[in-house]
């Protein structure tokens, strides 16, 4: 599989989002998905201490036992709903990292990310503490998630000239959620940041599983959590148009969803979740469509 860079890291262009581990998947099922990912060329795994109250990290660590060198592990800290503490205070960063390392069963994390902005902690203090983790050899690169252009620029200004600075930003981005196009993608290009889209399949809407005028199958969109807000008549009609476009080019909707994101050169890896080995294999195989400029224009017209 093709690889792109996050700072000094080389990652597969399709990554595996691990938010289902410890929540929808037990340890054994997690191992099946992780091993299928590795065997499909997926080496980038994105988790967080929030996911499954730490079980996602624990199950991922178990699944990678003996294959740690084959994986690039990204995890996150500081979400306001995390049972391990919220915020990006220096003292919290130290304890949160030690907890993640223990659960993951490793002595370093490849990419350590602030899960969301902390308005109560100066970003300079956060970056100084993250720099300490890099100097200690416990973290290779640092990143952020859910940051705006203003917050990214504040972080850039606060980072010391020879200190760790954000190498990536992870925000929601898909054919149905295009907010990053309102500045964040351009800022990534200007500042040399890698962009990591989460929910690239719009919680399943872009897999082809949900079709207009057909019964709604079980899945995230039909379960708790409020994701069913995406199942509007307008969205389902758009899905039909996207399927028609993709199939007319000899591809699937899944291929369109992932390859369209990778057509943006600032995107380093598309973080797609999976609950079964066949899903992760399908995601891995969906990255090969090199959309032309004319095809990208056609997609824009459909979405408008």
- Report, as residue numbers or ranges, the catalytic residues: 51
- Cα distances from 22 to residues 1, 38, 47, 78, 135, in angstroms, run 27, 19, 11, 19, 31
- Cα distances from 180 to residues 8, 175, 227, in angstroms, run 24, 11, 20
Enumerate long-range contacts of 159-163, CB under 8 Å, 24 or more apart. 159/127, 160/127, 160/128, 160/131, 163/127, 163/128, 163/131
Q: Are 14 and 254 in contact (CB under 8 A)?
A: no
Residue 168 tokens, joined: 């990536």
Q: Is 62 exposed, middle or buried (0-12, 13-18, 19+ CB in 10 A)?
A: middle
């Amino acid at each position: 599989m093709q690889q792109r860079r996050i700072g000094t890291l080389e990652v597969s262009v399709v990554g595996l989002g691990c938010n289902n581990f410890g929540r929808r998947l037990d340890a054994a099922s997690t191992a099946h998905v992780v091993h299928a990912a590795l065997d499909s060329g997926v080496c980038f795994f994105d988790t967080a201490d929030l996911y499954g109250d730490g079980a996602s990290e624990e199950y991922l660590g178990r699944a990678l036992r003996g294959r740690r060198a084959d994986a690039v592990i990204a995890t996150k800290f500081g979400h306001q709903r995390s049972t391990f503490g919220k915020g990006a205070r220096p003292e919290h960063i130290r304890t949160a990292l030690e907890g993640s390392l223990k659960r993951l069963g490793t002595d370093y994390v490849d990419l350590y990310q602030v899960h969301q902005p902390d308005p109560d902690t100066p970003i300079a203090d956060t970056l100084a503490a993250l720099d300490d983790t890099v100097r200690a050899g416990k973290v290779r690169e640092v990143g952020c998630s859910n940051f705006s252009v203003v917050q990214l620029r504040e972080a850039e200004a606060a980072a010391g000239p020879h200190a760790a600075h954000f190498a990536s930003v992870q925000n929601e981005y898909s054919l149905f959620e295009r907010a990053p196009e309102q500045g964040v993608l351009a800022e990534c290009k200007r500042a040399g940041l890698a962009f990591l889209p989460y929910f690239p399949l719009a919680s399943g809407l872009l897999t082809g599983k949900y079709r207009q005028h057909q019964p709604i199958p079980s899945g995230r969109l039909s379960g708790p959590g409020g994701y069913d807000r995406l199942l509007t008549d307008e969205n389902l009609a758009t899905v039909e148009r996207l399927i028609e476009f993709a199939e007319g080019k000899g591809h699937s909707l899944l291929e369109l969803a992932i390859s369209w994101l990778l057509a943006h050169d600032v995107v380093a890896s598309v973080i797609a979740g999976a609950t079964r080995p066949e899903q992760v294999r399908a995601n891995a195989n969906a990255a090969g469509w090199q959309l032309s400029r004319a095809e990208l224009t056609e997609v824009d017209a459909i979405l408008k």
